[in-house]
Chains A and B, each alone.
Chain A
Amino acid sequence: MAIFDKLQPVSSALQELKNCGVDSVNVVMESFTAPFEAVINGRRTVLAGTNNYLGLTFDQECIRAACEALQQEGTGTTGSRMANGNYAGHIALEHELAKFFSRKGAIVFSTGYVAILGMMTSLAGPGDVILIDSDCHASIYDGCRLGGAQFMLFKHNDINDLEKRLRRLGKQTENTLIVVEGIYSMLGDRAKLSDITEVKKNYGACLLVDEAHSLGVLGKQGRGLAEEAGVEDDVDFIVGTFSKSLGTIGGFCVSNHPQLELIRCVSRPYIFTASPSPSIIASTRAALKILQTRPELRSRLWENAQTLYQRLKDMDFVLGPAPSPIISVRLKDKGKAVAFWRRLLERGVYVNMVLPPATPDGNPLLRCSVSAGHTPEQMEQICEAFASLQDVAEPPQMI
């Protein structure tokens, strides 16, 4: 049927990978032997591509909180908060998030992706403008498309380019939403937030920062890049996810703007989807407490990040611009990426293989995310697996 014709290039690309002995989209973690070890293809494998920055997915306090909520409130909410009502846990988590970020309000969404969509589509519609960093995550691009606002890119972290675009907009800057990320998900670099907030103030625009990869990772209290850069007061909206450093699933937005409460009534991604289940909310609340009370996790995360970055650099791999919990090996050709990824898996190390066009510069990446929970032995296994790539045979030629 012709309706499926558009999927043919995808089918060809997957077949090409399979011909190289790689089925990267169908990796199955058959069982877990430790928080960062799973059995893949029958082999014990260290997981170095999880975004589980603080290693909380197996934390006993989080698990206990989830189990209690399951027993007391059941497995799911079976609908949206607008229709089915709020659970006490939803409200409590929103209060706790607002307090943690020292903001007047918070909204919890069902996923991080939904939080971005929910906020962007409600804030910027027809007649408004969205300016996004060109390296922003796909969810931010989707938020632009779904809302109906005009949207434009500025060159990645190029403040002059951002300013130039704001200048061209003239009076429209009052209706402009700028969107950047705390830590960019592919190369692990940070937004130049001090400069961005200065420009934003000069032009009277609104600023939303997605702290998905920086919550629990940056800032003395773990609030993210805005805290680290000392510009929290100049960021209008902070959006984040529970599915990385908090180890669950869900998303949120915090803000001092009183209009945040109205977003609940207009945000279709908030209204027309089921709310997070009680066990998810309970484990997220427990994880948020741990994030605030155990800063040593953040220290350990950064030690591991520095170690892997330095070791890979010493092996002459081309990496992102600075150490970060996201460490990507930048490669020039797809065949090499595939051969390397396969070798790493054979050596019991799982990382993310990211192929263009999902990468910032059109070249493939082997993306690692390190965690506070990685043991010294696991870190060593990751490094040794990368060292073994030097004798990988000539990679297959790929389109």
Chain B
Amino acid sequence: MILAKTGNEALAWAMRQINPDVVAAYPITPSTEIVQLFSTYVNDGLVDSEFVAVESEHSAMAACIGAAACGCRVMTATASQGLALMHEMLFIAGGLRLPIVMCVASRSLSAPLNIHGDHSDSLASRDSGWLQFFCETVEEGYDTLLQAVKIAERAYLPALVAIDGFILSHCLERIETFDDQDVREFLGRPKPNYNLLDYRHPILVGPATLQDYYFEFKRSQIEGMNNALPIIEAVQQEFRERFGRGYPVIEEYRCDDASAVVLVMGSACGTVRYAVDQLRQAGKKVGMVKLRVFRPLVHSLLKERLGRFQTVGVLDRADAVNSYGGPLFTEVTSVLYDLPQRPKVLSYVYGLGGKEFAPEDAVKVLEEVLAGKKAELVTYVGVR
């Protein structure tokens, strides 16, 4: 069915089709509509979900953890300060290997207060043990959320699906949705790793492990993330077979004969595509590499795809205050370091707090990357 939906509406629509057992959430701009719409679906009897209205995001994630430990399919949505308030709980969901799926309408972090889109919130959650997906369009957000449920439940890892705040969350797009029945068949029922309420097989969840076992459990959790990529690829393949569309983990756009490319995540991919087209018309050999998955870090793919270029520009929609370049940039330079011949990598931070990132800005970045050098380590695009 073809529908006109904003990003928030599309994710809520996907949640209705997923029909999770439990949704616990607290509203925050720009993600509020997702759970607001979902709560109307609950009220109207369109889903079987238990909706838990809680007093904070910390409680929301705590309730999600409890429900997921009982084998339920669990979802929530948040952004910015809400995700920051969940921070402590995110690590617990990760450590307990609970496949909770969370929508994030990406937004900057205060102070100063700003409600608009950047990736500071999700990237600050990098080490919490969650899968992280970044989407370019509303339709991709819809598709990715459906995939994320299956990926999370197969990998026993929580998953975060990010759409850029306002740019995607509040902008209307034409999307092709799938039939409820097809979605439910695609997802099946979760096969939980354990169930705290199964009194015939009593277990202890969240034990205290000291010097004897903490590190071993952490090592086991890390292996779960190490093994996630084949699961993501398999689910994407199943998705493509059933629904006829899909997205690679890394997409190359006009890269075949390119000597310089930029790597980018989220809605800015659309802007960069347009800029690449313009420069290509002028005969300049530039391209774009789109990264959909930030965690797991797909290092072998990044090596394979980026290693052959002369110069790679990395666009970060977040800053890691005084780090040696943007958060994605430092990952990329680490990944490429051990190649015998590696590209020059340039760091760009753009669009913090929703600052306009126009095609002209992208053209400027691409031209500089093509020239292969710039004066400063990090370029803050468009900052006065």
To the question of whether A and B form a pair in one complex, the answer is no
Which residues on A are within 8 Å of B, measured CB to CB?
none
